């Protein structure tokens, strides 16, 4: 037993996490994963302790609802055996450790740079000499897209190797958006600054990351949020899911040049985000979620107003969704485009919709319930084909499901708690972990405190971190002209990956 | 002479009406009908920017492309009045003058050395290659039926007043309309509104063109639409007198633009591989016209 099992949003003392040598650490974590598709690594990172680096590996078990934490103290001088060689889902984490601390792996498939952080170990590695995969052939051609996106959203470089119109390989290079957000969490001392940082990890998952930060912080401060606080968080998460999913449906329609869908879904996103403005003054829900307080109480008047909004929204949404999913020209673009198999999704550690589209049941709302999700008895929506159609269908079904949840919650709006609890100081020498199912998938925030109870390390894992590889796999053997629709159907975050 | 004036007139409003229809269908107000024209005039007042990797080919390509469309326009008749240029076999001249323009626009795109433009050029070449037999089989059949080889004579004698010629006209109109959609990279072959280079056909080929050159290319696009529209009108007009023919022509152009706008609003575009299949179907429709012609003229034993 060289590990400790915790629940979601639980704080443990650092001294309570058993430390083992790397061989033990390696074998134990490999053993965790072998033959257990329900277990997946939610975070694996290192931090400097003197001249050594301490590795912390967090493996979540979806059946027992526990997260197994194990640590190991290693030194750069000794090359390490890589987890990735057995379980590819560790690939990104180990590349990050290699990039940050210069660890060499004896058998890592390809430890190329992840995001070029300022404090990377090897300063000679720069964007310009990124080691792209290439194939020498007269018959193949390379197409480089970006870093400036055609729709000028966020920067990222995509290198295709194509045989005519067919994609053989896609390599995605990110890191242009790196802002050092994890170290900013440690530098900025005020709670409001940190909460604002959390909301800006990725601009489309304001509530998701906000809730993850709030949970970690409250857990470290030993604060038990009242029911009305958790109610507001759950409601905001579901409303964010509805708004973004509807916006994505609109964007998918734009990409297949279906003007009606693009216009109608685009319009339908507006009432939901406008309601957020009525609630908290920001259409993107900024400053709604704060640790330890219910800044914008959800009043019965707001509940009534939301009911009205949904009554108008729902029939229009259903009508347009039925229209889209019976339109032959649209279905011919969706079906069998950009397929990811169950085995691939499992091996790369896909999370959220990217996992559920292949029948891989990954949903934190069900497996590690937080806020009020235990009461809602969430049933994840699963699809089997792993194509664009599955991804679009999941969005539609999740919007319908979220509408049901919101309506259920509106029947029982909790009273605003009058007891004004103060947030206490953080527990010193502690580790805390929070998992949240944002609209895109599993968000993991980990925090470590030092002897004075100050934040020492803050680690963030956005669902995009693993899912970008799913996109790269999905476009293989597809036409290059279908790339935009594959990309949009995943709708991954650049800034969430780059941090 | 009359045809040139009418084509220019139709070109001035066709794209504007199409865009306006799409706007209204999606619940928007939309730009004015002459907005595409204003855009072109604005471009004409600008200078062009040339990439350092391009050669003179890139600079002359837009001009040659535009000229080819204008020359092709001169061949098109309008009802009783012949085009400015009219001779036996002018429909072959028409097709290959357009072909020359397209050739230059393709090598102009290749000249930039951009992988996007290369892909666009390859797609454009493929689609034109598939569309060409459809055009020749159609006009060739009409030539066989009427015994003439110039546009003016073919269309004049096509109007026999029989129901058969109207049936052939309808099939011909379908083929020409679809060729017009392909040539102008409209839906469902191509999406002129997209911002995604990887899915574009025609738009991606002109990514590097700017200012005056871009204005020429856009104007040529407007003219092409009107040219095909006029050919379709000619299939039916025959010897109607001008006082009816001209209003009918304008009404038909408006109708075509509105129909194209509605089609674009309520369907998704094709998957790229389906485009080639779809275009080949046009050739088989043309073959239908061909066999009908053989049957009518008794040459089919």
**Chain B residue numbers touching A316 (CB-CB < 8 A):** none
Instruction: With CB atoms and an 8 Å threshold, state whether A142 touches B115.
Output: yes
What pLDDT score was predicted for residue A130? 87
Residue B90 to chain A, least CA–CA distance (Å)? 36
Position A123 in a domain: no
Restricting to A residues 216-245, those with a Cβ less than 8 Å away from any Cβ of B are none
Range of the domain at A51: 4-114
What pLDDT score was predicted for residue A33? 86
Position A144 in a domain: no
Position A378 in a domain: yes
Task: Report domain extents, chain B.
Answer: 2-296
**Chain B residue numbers touching A148 (CB-CB < 8 A):** none
What pLDDT score was predicted for residue B237? 79
DSSP string, chain B: -HHHHHHHHHHHHHHHHHHHHHHHHTT-----TTHHHHHHHHHHTSPP---TT--HHHHHHHHHHHHHHHHHHHH--BTTBPPSS--TTHHHHHHHHHHHHHHHHHHHHHHT--HHHHHHHHHHHHHHHHHHHHHHHHHHHHHHHHT--SHHHHHHHH----HHHHHHHHHHHHHHHHHHHHHTT-TTT--TT---GGG-SHHHHTTT--HHHHHHHHHHHHHHHHHHHHHHHHHHHTT--HHHHHHHHHHHHHHHHHHHHHHHHSSPPPPHHHHHHHHHHHHHHHHHHHHHHHHHTT---
What pLDDT score was predicted for residue A136? 87
A-to-B residue pairs, Cβ atoms closer than 8 angstroms: 83
Residue A262 to chain B, least CA–CA distance (Å)? 9
- For B198, which of A141, A333, A480 is closest by C-beta distance? A480
Domain boundary among A114, A129, A150: A114
Name the residue in chain B with its Cα closest to that of A255.
B194
Position A209 in a domain: yes
Low-confidence ranges of chain B (pLDDT < 50): none
Q: Which two tokens stand for residue B116?
A: 């996007």
Residues A275 and A420 in one domain: yes
B29 in contact with A, Cβ within 8 Å: no
| Domains contained in chain A, number | 2
Residue A115 to chain B, least CA–CA distance (Å)? 25
What pLDDT score was predicted for residue B161? 61
Restricting to A residues 291-350, those with a Cβ less than 8 Å away from any Cβ of B are 327, 329-330, 332-333, 337
Q: pTM for the full model?
A: 0.92
Residues A298 and A383 in one domain: yes
What pLDDT score was predicted for residue A216? 93
Instruction: With CB atoms and an 8 Å threshold, state whether B119 touches A262.
Output: no
What pLDDT score was predicted for residue A414? 86
Residues A212 and A313 in one domain: yes
Low-confidence ranges of chain A (pLDDT < 50): none
Residues A99 and A193 in one domain: no
Domain boundary among A114, A141, A163: A114
What pLDDT score was predicted for residue A382? 92
Instruction: With CB atoms and an 8 Å threshold, state whether B118 touches A141.
Output: yes
Position A149 in a domain: no
What pLDDT score was predicted for residue B301? 60
What pLDDT score was predicted for residue B159? 65
Domain boundary among A96, A114, A132: A114
| CB-based contacts of A335, cutoff 8 Å, min separation 6 | A387, A388, A389
Q: What is the ipTM of this complex?
A: 0.89
What pLDDT score was predicted for residue A110? 85
Contact yes or no for B73/B7 (Cβ under 8 A): yes
């Amino acid at each position: 037993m060289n590990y400790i099992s915790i629940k979601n949003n639980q704080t443990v003392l650092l001294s309570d996490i058993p430390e083992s040598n790397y061989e033990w650490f390696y074998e134990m974590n490999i053993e965790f994963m072998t033959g257990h598709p329900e277990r997946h690594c939610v975070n694996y990172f290192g931090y400097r302790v003197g001249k050594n680096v301490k590795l912390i590996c967090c493996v979540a078990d979806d059946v027992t609802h526990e997260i197994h934490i194990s640590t190991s103290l290693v030194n750069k001088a000794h090359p390490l055996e890589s987890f990735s060689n057995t379980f590819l889902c560790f690939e990104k984490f180990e590349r990050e450790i290699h990039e940050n601390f210069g660890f060499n792996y004896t058998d890592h498939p390809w430890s190329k740079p992840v995001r070029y952080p300022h404090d990377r170990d090897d300063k000679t590695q720069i964007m310009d000499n990124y080691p792209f995969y290439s194939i020498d052939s007269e018959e193949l051609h390379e197409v480089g897209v970006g870093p400036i996106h055609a729709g000028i959203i966020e920067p990222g470089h995509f290198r295709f190797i194509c045989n005519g119109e067919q994609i053989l390989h896609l390599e995605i290079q990110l890191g242009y958006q790196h802002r050092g957000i994890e170290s900013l969490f440690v530098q900025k001392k005020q709670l409001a600054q940190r909460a604002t940082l959390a909301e800006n990890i990725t601009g489309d998952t304001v509530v998701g990351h906000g809730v993850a930060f709030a949970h970690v912080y409250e857990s470290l401060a030993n604060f038990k949020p009242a029911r009305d606080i958790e109610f507001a968080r759950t409601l905001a998460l579901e409303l964010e899911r509805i708004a973004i999913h509807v916006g994505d449906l609109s964007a998918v329609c734009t990409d297949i040049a279906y003007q009606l869908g693009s216009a109608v879904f685009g319009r339908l996103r507006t009432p939901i985000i406008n309601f957020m403005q009525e609630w908290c003054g920001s259409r993107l829900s900024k400053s709604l979620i704060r640790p330890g307080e219910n800044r914008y109480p959800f009043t019965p008047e707001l509940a009534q107003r939301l009911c009205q909004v949904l009554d108008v929204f729902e029939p229009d949404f259903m009508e347009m969704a039925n229209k889209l999913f019976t339109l032959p020209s649209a279905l011919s673009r969706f079906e069998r485009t950009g397929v990811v198999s169950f085995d691939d999704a499992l091996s790369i550690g896909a999370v959220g919709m990217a996992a559920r589209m292949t029948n891989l049941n990954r949903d934190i709302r069900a497996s590690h319930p937080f806020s009020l999700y235990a009461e809602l008895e969430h049933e994840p929506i699963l699809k089997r084909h792993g194509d664009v159609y599955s991804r679009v269908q999941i969005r539609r079904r999740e919007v319908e499901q979220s509408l049901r949840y919101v309506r259920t919650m509106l029947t029982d709006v909790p009273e605003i708690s009058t007891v004004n609890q103060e947030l206490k100081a953080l527990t010193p020498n502690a580790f805390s972990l929070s998992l949240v199912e944002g609209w895109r998938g599993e968000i993991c925030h980990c925090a470590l405190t030092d002897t004075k109870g100050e934040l020492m390390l803050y680690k963030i894992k956005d669902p995009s971190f693993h899912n970008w590889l799913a996109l790269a796999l999905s476009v293989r053997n597809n036409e290059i002209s279908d790339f935009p629709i594959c990309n949009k159907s995943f709708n991954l975050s650049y800034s969430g990956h780059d941090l | 002479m009359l045809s040139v004036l009418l084509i220019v007139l139709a070109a001035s409003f066709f794209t504007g009406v199409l865009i306006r229809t799409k706007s209204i269908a999606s619940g928007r107000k939309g730009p004015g009908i002459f907005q595409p024209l204003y855009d072109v005039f604005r471009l004409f007042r600008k200078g062009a920017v040339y990439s350092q990797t391009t050669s003179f080919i890139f600079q002359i390509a837009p001009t040659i492309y535009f000229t080819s469309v204008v020359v092709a326009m001169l061949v098109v008749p309008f009802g009783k009045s012949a085009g400015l240029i009219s001779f036996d076999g002018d429909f072959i001249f028409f097709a290959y003058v357009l072909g020359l323009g397209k050739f230059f626009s393709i090598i102009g795109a290749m000249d930039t050395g951009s992988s996007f433009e290369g892909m666009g050029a390859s797609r454009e070449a493929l689609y034109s290659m598939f569309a060409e037999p459809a055009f020749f089989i159609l006009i060739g059949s009409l030539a066989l039926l009427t015994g003439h080889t110039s546009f003016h004579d073919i269309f004049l004698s096509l109007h026999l007043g029989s129901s058969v010629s109207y049936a052939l006209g309808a099939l011909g109109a379908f083929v020409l309309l679809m060729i017009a959609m392909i040539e102008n990279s409209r839906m469902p072959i191509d999406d002129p509104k997209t911002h995604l280079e990887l899915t574009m056909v025609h738009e991606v080929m002109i990514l590097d063109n700017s200012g005056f050159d871009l204005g020429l290319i856009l104007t040529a696009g407007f003219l092409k639409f009107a040219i095909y529209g006029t050919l379709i009108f000619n299939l039916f007009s025959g010897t109607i007198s001008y006082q009816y023919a001209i209003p009918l022509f304008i009404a038909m152009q408006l109708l075509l633009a509105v129909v194209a706008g509605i089609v674009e609003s309520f369907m998704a575009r094709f998957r790229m591989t389906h485009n080639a299949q779809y275009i080949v179907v046009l050739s088989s429709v043309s073959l239908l016209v061909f066999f009908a012609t053989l049957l009518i003229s008794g040459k089919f034993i």
